[in-house]
Structure 1
Amino acid sequence: MSIVKYFFEEPALLETPAPDANPDARRRTERSANADRDPDADTLRALLNPATAYRGYLAGTDLDADRVGLTALPVMDAMVHALTAVVAHPHACGIAPNGTLEADLDGQAVQARWADPQGERVLAFADTPIDPAPLRDVAEHARREASSALRTLMEAGTTVFFSEPAHDGFDWSFFSPVPVRDALTHALRTHVSDDHVRCFVLPFQKARSESKFYFEQWQLNQASLPTYIQEV
């Protein structure tokens, strides 16, 4: 049995960039040291007008093989079809694990990278050509440090996917400028869920602990799941 989990946060506020571009700048001592500094333009913009995005995380477990990671599932081909059905934009590009810009990816190339990212990779999709500069920033820096670049991509209508290392293979997280939950839930139901695959949709806020994130390891045989977990 394969388990696919889709964690959503809709909407999600992108984190405000720290004044010194340091993700730990919220520490009290550093805040005090920087108290007299004027915020830069990106920080001020984020404070006055926090960016809204639609965030998702796709994870998976192969219970029979005891493998954890979305791309480790035998149903990854079906997952690729589901993702393709939801993210159907004419422009696609990415940053490879070695930092190389991959411009103008076609559908077959995108599907191959979703199925086997071969490392920490970024993929971006939009209706218009994608600016590679902010895409490089989000690929090369920690998520909070790159929040301004991610915001720039969101404002340009770009959906961004990140491969996330798992115990076996990779999961995929993403940020979208538009709601995705309903379309992705429908795609999971249509393309993935069957007698050998169970798909679940649940909110990020309810799965912050390790036990709740890996609920499939101990909870599937109970008479009922918590009400916040939807099986599709």
Structure 2
Amino acid sequence: MQVVKYFFEEPVALEMLSEDTDPDARRRAGAPTLEEFLGAPEYARGYLAASDLETGRIAASVLPESIALILDAVLPEPRRHFTPGVTGISFTGLDGIDGLREALTDPSERSVIVCGAGDRGDNGLSLPEVVGDLIEHDIREALSSVVRLLEGGFLVLVSEPSHDGHDWSVFSPRPLADDMRTAMAEHLRGISGYVIPFRRARAEHRFYFEQVDPEIYDEFRVTT
């Protein structure tokens, strides 16, 4: 059995992407007014993972062909792949399925894919500088850079270490769950696809549900 799974939370307000990990911080700062709450930008975040139970391998990178097909249907263009370089951050434009496949199997410890034209006005945003922050730091320490990219209208994927390669954290200026569901239905053949709300997968055994009880998330299984 091979599984591709996308966990999502949407919409998520910018304040939910705060670098302050103190759960009491927002209470001390005071609750937002109704006007502030309704006017706050809302984005989407997700986590794209996969596993191959036949080989025992766990990571999105173990199923690059299937993941590339899904992402090609979902990600806006242009697509740029950033990786650590000898003298700084290296940048490569991604062309179609082949480009995505190469990015998905890149052996770099951390890489970032930035998608879209940045149509919300980037206010002088320097992609190499901001993306460099994401590559050089843990994502919790670089959330301000994620926010800057989202505010500019970019969709961002950040590689995350997994058991046998890497998965992808996804941050989007618009909802993606429905698009992921549609792409899985169209492109997955002989592979089980799931689109699952984060709130239903907080425990570790639920994240690795396919190894414990594949039927636990039947309601979120994508019909192909």
Q: Work out whether the TM-score is over 0.5.
A: yes
Specify the alignment match of 1:2 in structure 2: 2
In 2 relative to 1, CA 104–64 (structure 1 residues): closer, same or farther, beyond 3 Å? closer
Specify the alignment match of 1:81 in structure 2: 69
Unaligned runs of 5+ in 1: 36-45
Q: Report which of the two structures shows the higher radius of gyration computed on alpha carbons.
A: 1
Q: Distance in 2 between matches of 1:99 and 1:139?
A: 14
> Root-mean-square deviation (CA), in Å?
3.0
Does structure 1 conserve the Cα–Cα contact (< 8 Å) formed by 2:184 and 2:222? no
In 2 relative to 1, CA 187–115 (structure 1 residues): closer, same or farther, beyond 3 Å? farther
Does structure 2 conserve the Cα–Cα contact (< 8 Å) formed by 1:93 and 1:130? no
Kindly state the Cα deviation for residue 143 of structure 1 after the two structures are TM-superposed.
2.2
Specify the alignment match of 2:32 in structure 1: none
Is 1:150 the counterpart of 2:138? The answer is: no
Is 1:138 the counterpart of 2:140? The answer is: no
Q: Distance in 2 between matches of 1:151 and 1:200?
A: 27
Q: Distance in 2 between matches of 1:17 and 1:60?
A: 28
Q: Distance in 2 between matches of 1:227 and 1:66?
A: 21
TM-score by length of 2: 0.78
Kindly state the Cα deviation for residue 51 of structure 1 after the two structures are TM-superposed.
4.9
Q: Distance in 2 between matches of 1:163 and 1:97?
A: 16
Kindly state the Cα deviation for residue 187 of structure 1 after the two structures are TM-superposed.
0.8
Unaligned runs of 5+ in 2: 29-35, 119-124
Q: Deviations over 1:112-159 (max 9, x none)?
A: 112334322111112149632222222222223222221111011111
Is 1:181 the counterpart of 2:177? The answer is: yes
Instruction: Indicate the SS of the match to 2:140.
Output: coil
Specify the alignment match of 2:220 in structure 1: 229
Does structure 2 conserve the Cα–Cα contact (< 8 Å) formed by 1:7 and 1:57? yes
Is 1:166 the counterpart of 2:162? The answer is: yes
- Size of the alignment, in residue pairs? 205
1:91-110 alignment runs, 5 A limit: 91-96=79-84, 100-107=88-95, 108-110=98-100
Specify the alignment match of 1:217 in structure 2: 211
Select which of 37, 51, 57 maps to 1:61.
Answer: 51
> Percent identity of the aligned residues?
32
Is 1:12 the counterpart of 2:2? The answer is: no
Q: Distance in 2 between matches of 1:98 and 1:216?
A: 39
Tell me which protein shows more helix as a share of its residues: 2
TM-score by length of 1: 0.76
